[in-house]
Homo-oligomer: A and B are copies of this chain.
C-alpha cells in the first residue's frame, strides 16, 4: 500500500494538517517541523493521492477532449499534433488530459453528457467547430467551461483559437497567381465545418481581387481524406481546360492530388502545382515537399489548453478569441504555370 498523509504525520510526529501545509506550501511551517516532515515524506516515498485532492477541492485538474471523428477520418495525423500540444501544456500546469471516443452506435451528444455530468473533467476542448454546433450549444447551456479550436459560425460568443483560413487561402492563391496560374482548382472541405466557408471565401476573394472569373466547375468538395483529393483531380483532368494548379483545403487531400497527378505522369511543381492547408508533418515529408498554409496545430493545442486552464481557475484569459495569422510555407509542389 502506498503511504498516506496520515502515515507521514505519524512518522513525523505532527498532524496531517501540518503535513498538508508542507506539501502544498500554503501555510508557513517552522523550519524544524518542515525538515521532519520532508524526511518522513522521503523515507515513505509519499505522493499525494490526486483523487482525494480532487474530491476535497471539487476540481479534477483534468482537461477533456472528445475525438471528433465525424468529418475526419480516424487516423488524421492532425489530431495527434493537437493532442501533443494540449498534453504538454496541461502537464505544465499539473493538469491531466482525458480522452474520449464516440463508440460505434453511441451519439456524440451522449458522450458529451456523460463526461460533463460525471464531473470527470474541469473543462473540455472542442475541435473542428461546425455550423449549428450541438456540442457548443450544449456546453454553453450547461455553463460548462470549454475552449474551441475553430471559431463560431452562428453568432455565438465563446472562447476559441482559430487560424485565419480566409487569409491563408488568399495568400496561397496570391502565390499561385504570381506564378502565372490562371485556372486554379479548389478542393473544399465538408461544408458542415465552419472553417470550410472561410477558406472558400479566401479562394473567391483572391480570384476577384485579381480579376479572374469564378468557375463553379473548378470547385469541388472533398472528404478530408487523400481519396477526396485524388478524385477531385481526376475530375479536373477530365475537363476540357484542366486547371494548372490545384489548391486543396487540407494536406491529406493535397497528398491525394499529388498521387493522382503523378499517376497521370504529371510532374508536380512543373506540369501542375499543388497546394495544401495545415502543414502537418506528412506535408513536409511528402515528395515533392508540399507547399501549404501553416496552421501551428501544436501551438494551438497549447494555447487552447492554456486558455481553458485559466478559465477553470477563474481568471478570464486576456484574449478570449484568438485568430492566428496563417503562414505560407512554400516548398516544391508549386512552380510557374506551364508555358510561363
Contact = CB atoms under 8 A, between A and B. Distances in A.
A172 to B, nearest CB: 21
Contacts of A256: 285, 287
A112 interface: no
A225 B285 contact: yes
A77 interface: yes
- The copy count of this chain in the complex is 2
A91 B67 CA distance: 13
Interface in A258-286: 258-260, 262-263, 265, 267, 280-282, 285-286
A227 B49 CA distance: 44
A282 B101 CA distance: 20
Contact of A225 (B97, B99, B265, B281): B281
The 6 closest A-B pairs by CB, nearest first: A87-B101, A75-B77, A259-B287, A47-B117, A262-B262, A226-B285
Interface stretch (A52-60, A177-185, A318-326): A52-60
Contacts of A215: none
A52 B55 contact: yes
A118 B50 contact: yes
Contacts of A67: 80, 83-84, 87
Contact of A2 (B83, B119, B267): B119
19 contacts: A50-B118, A50-B120, A62-B98, A67-B80, A75-B80, A75-B281, A87-B101, A88-B101, A88-B103, A91-B100, A91-B101, A92-B103, A97-B98, A226-B282, A227-B285, A258-B259, A259-B262, A259-B287, A262-B263
A282 to B, nearest CB: 7
Interface residues of A, number: 63
A100 B118 CA distance: 21
B103 A226 contact: no
A30 B101 CA distance: 37
Interface of A: 2, 45, 47-52, 54-55, 60, 62, 67, 69, 73-81, 83-84, 87-88, 91-92, 96-101, 103-104, 106, 111, 117-120, 225-227, 230, 256, 258-260, 262-263, 265, 267, 280-282, 285-288, 298
Contact of A96 (B75, B88, B100): B100
A285 B225 CA distance: 7
A119 B50 CA distance: 7
A73 B260 CA distance: 26
A98 B100 contact: no
Contact of A83 (B81, B101, B104, B111): B101
A157 B340 CA distance: 66
Given A51-B51, A55-B55, 13 more contacts: A49-B119, A51-B54, A74-B80, A74-B81, A75-B280, A79-B80, A87-B103, A88-B101, A98-B98, A226-B285, A259-B262, A262-B287, A263-B267
A287 B226 contact: yes
Given A74-B84, A281-B225, A47 B99 contact: no
B74 A100 contact: no
A2 B62 CA distance: 18
Contact of A88 (B104, B117, B226, B227): B104
Contact of A51 (B60, B227, B286): B60
A88 B99 CA distance: 10
